[in-house]
Each structure stands twice: as structure tokens, then as C-alpha cells.
Structure 1
């Protein structure tokens, strides 16, 4: 069996450790590198030490050292770091799986440009369940195009730095696109004071941050006499790790191009 040689960015963090454990448990994958920022507490330690194992892969802040033996990079870090890592991947033909959120338009354009030189799966949420939910939302939005108000509620742990979540924004984009709307024009991200009546074409967002919530998302279609809620709740980051490995397997047969989890799951 051919082994996918995978490096992990943010190797000392919660998601990085989940990815490392998933790679170690996958029969078709091997850990080829572990990357973290300068000053990270885990630098120099074996990447699998938290599992009580020796992977023979030290955590480093050197791109050359972390990615020198890798064919894939999985990155769930911060936009500025991810773009730096992606530039290296594009130059060296390393395929990238990006779960980082919070990119602005310029960052998304940079990802698209890099995908002309290497293969990239870019998705704000790698969970298989979330991405099936996206397909359900597309169908629901088309059916509830008239007479239903749409609100998106998301909740995450206290350490999350961006809001609304990338997944919530993607849900909004899926719904808006199905309705022939532009989320930049109809998205409502804050309400306070005397706001006036709700614009029926708007898509509202509500954000909750607290505790150790891994990730909850609900899209509410509220009509007269009924309401429909489509929800996804994550109880473990393992779903993101497993989805990332599925994305790596998808990229194994591709050299260039920009893809998302809808492509990976054949939901186009």
C-alpha cells in the first residue's frame, strides 16, 4: 500500500494533535513532518510524544525541515501562517489541505493562485457531516425561497478568534447562492437598538462563544405557522481530522486545482 506522506501545521495545538493521531492510526498515511510557530512550547519534541509514542518526527518551525519529506500538508492554523506555508507548497509541488478560517478576499485569491501550481482542498469545515448538511441546505433554500426568514446560529469554544465561523459563513453563501442572492449584500451580522422590521431578503447571523464547544451550527427557516431547523453538532475534532485524510486521498490523484469538500465527497 502506498503511504501518503503528510506533514501537519500547528502540530502542538489541539487540532494538530488530533491530526497527528489520525495519521498515526491510518494504514495508508505516515507522519512526514510537524510544523509550528517559533516559540511554540512543543518545538524540538517528538510530534507523537503526547500519545506516548515515538514518531521520529520532531516539531520544528523550519518549513524546509517540516515539509522536506512531505507530499501533503494539512493546515488548520491562522490565515497569515497558512498563506506562507501554501506559498512554499506551491513552489515545491506539495499538495495542501486547508481547514484554516478567517481569510479575506485577498487571502482567498492567493489560495486560488497557488492552486494553479499544486492541488489544494480548501474548506472551512472538513467534517463529512457538515458538508452533507451543506447539500441539504441548498435543497432547503430552494424550497423555502418565499415566505421564510433565514437565520444562522453558531456556537464555538472560548478560544476561537474569528466570528462568524467559517462554516457559518459557508452555510450563508450556500443558501444565498441557491436563492440567487449575494451574501455580502444580504448578510446581517449584528443587531442592536431599534433595527426596524426584518428585511425578508436578509440572512441573519448569531454567534455564541463559550466553554469547550467544538462547533454547533443551525440554519433556521422561519415561516408563518412553522419553522424548519437544519443542525449539525460536533462533539469531537476527530471528524475534522478524518475528513482531512479523506481530502488527502482525493488529492492523491491530482496535480493542480482548487477543490473543496463537496468535490471530495462527490456532492457537486
Structure 2
């Protein structure tokens, strides 16, 4: 049985993963949190999952590389420097990084990419996400994942087309941009809407998460899938295809 080690084991996601992993055919190798030695966990586990913080990622990747242990990264709020570290680690070990571990969101991203590729830039793309009041990053990792999918469908990048800072007299909407809006409140697990607005018609693709378990289940499935892969950088789309 494949053993999973959890970075961020005392967080909401870490605790949920620990609770459901045995029922999905995984064994728990243990967990590590602030103050613990990540190298010890990396040596004990067949595969690691990371739902901690961006500031801890460098140490976790170093531990995974030293132990040659695959790692699935679900931590959000990552920047360019983190993705560079992930690319470097992926040259030596299997790494799967995603903004959302839900299989439903993985399918949604695929639909968004296809819709963006088929509809012209006269169809405006807007992404709206809502999460609980405790979420600390915005836009959410999932919203960025969906924005990247839309940009790829349009043959551009989210860095070039994304707009997140509308306030005041911003002027008319620029054609080809991808708008992103973040809502925070209550106990919402995660709602994401991708709106394609054309002249006289509108298409909306929506995913709503009713509980945290869907993300934990997808994380365990992704970790089990990743455990025997060759070094490289992988995505949830590949897990979905499998």
C-alpha cells in the first residue's frame, strides 16, 4: 500500500486528507508542520502532499529531492519564484502542482480552454470566485488555473490578458482581456464561474464545492497516481485522463 506524507497536516486540508486516505487505499506515513523536520517525513513516505504555505515550499521541495520522493503540491498563493523551484525539482523527481485538486474543476478547466479556443475575442471572458472569509490569497489558485486555461485557448498568457484591479474610472473593457473578481465571506468552500459574454448571449460554466472532502479525495488520487511516475512536472489533467 502506498504511503502518503502530509506537509501541513494540522491544516484543514491536511486533516481531511488524513481522515479519508485509508478509505482510498493509501497508508499514512505521518505529517509535518511548522517546526518539524521535513526531511524525516520525506524519507518515510512513498509520496508527499503539500498543503502548507508558500514560505515552506522551498524546504519541502529540498527534502523531497534529497529523498527522491514524489510530491503533489496543492498549496496556493505561489509566485514565479515558487514555480521556478518546482521546475528545478521536477528535473529530479515527479512533481504535480495544481491550484485545485477537484476532478470536477479539472474537467471545468478543459471545457474553458475549449470554449475560449472556439469563441472569438468578441466574446468577453470573466471569472468570478467566492471563498470563505478566512482565505488569505486572491484571486484563488483555482481562478488563476481557469484563467490560464482560457488564455491558453486564446493563444496568450494570463500575465498578458488578465485583469484583476478594476476600480474607479477604468474606461471601456479592452477586447481580449480576461477579468477576474474575488468575493470573500461566510463559510463558502469554493464557487467558480467562468462567463463568456457575447453580443446578445452568454455562456456560464460553473463549479460549486459543497465540502472540503472533494479536494482531499482528488489530492489522494493524484498522489497515488504520481507515486510511480518518472521525474517531470505533471498536472491534474493527466490524472483526469488516467
1:82 alignment partner in structure 2: 57
Task: After TM superposition, give the deviation of residue 190 of structure 1 in Å.
Answer: 1.3
- CA deviation map 1:76-110 (0-9, x unaligned): 11112122111100111111010011111111010
Give the secondary-structure state (helix, strand or coil) at the position aligned to 1:265: helix
Give the secondary-structure state (helix, strand or coil) at the position aligned to 2:204: strand
Give the secondary-structure state (helix, strand or coil) at the position aligned to 1:107: helix
Contact 2:121 2:176 in 1 (8 A): no
Q: Does 1:29 align with 2:26?
A: yes
Contact 2:42 2:67 in 1 (8 A): no
1:17 alignment partner in structure 2: 15
Q: Does 1:223 align with 2:195?
A: no
- The count of residues paired between Structure 1 and Structure 2 equals 242
Structure with the larger helix share = 2
1:197-236 superposed matches below 5 A: 197-236=172-211
Show structure 2 runs of 5+ residues with no match.
none
Aligned-partner Cα distance in 2 for 1:122–1:21? 22
Evaluate the alpha carbon distance shift between residue 68 and residue 91 of structure 1 in structure 2; reply closer, same or farther with a 3 A threshold.
Answer: closer
Aligned-partner Cα distance in 1 for 2:232–2:204? 34
- CA deviation map 1:15-51 (0-9, x unaligned): 111010111322x21111111113xxxxxxxxxxxxx
1:139 corresponds to which of 93, 99, 114 = 114
RMSD (Å) for aligned C-alpha atoms? 1.3
Aligned-partner Cα distance in 2 for 1:194–1:132? 36
TM-score, length-normalised on structure 2?
0.96
Q: Which has the larger radius of gyration?
A: 1
Structure with the larger RCO, 1 or 2 (CA within 8 Å, 6+ apart): 2
1:46 alignment partner in structure 2: none
Show structure 1 runs of 5+ residues with no match.
39-60
Q: Does 1:160 align with 2:138?
A: no
2:224 alignment partner in structure 1: 249
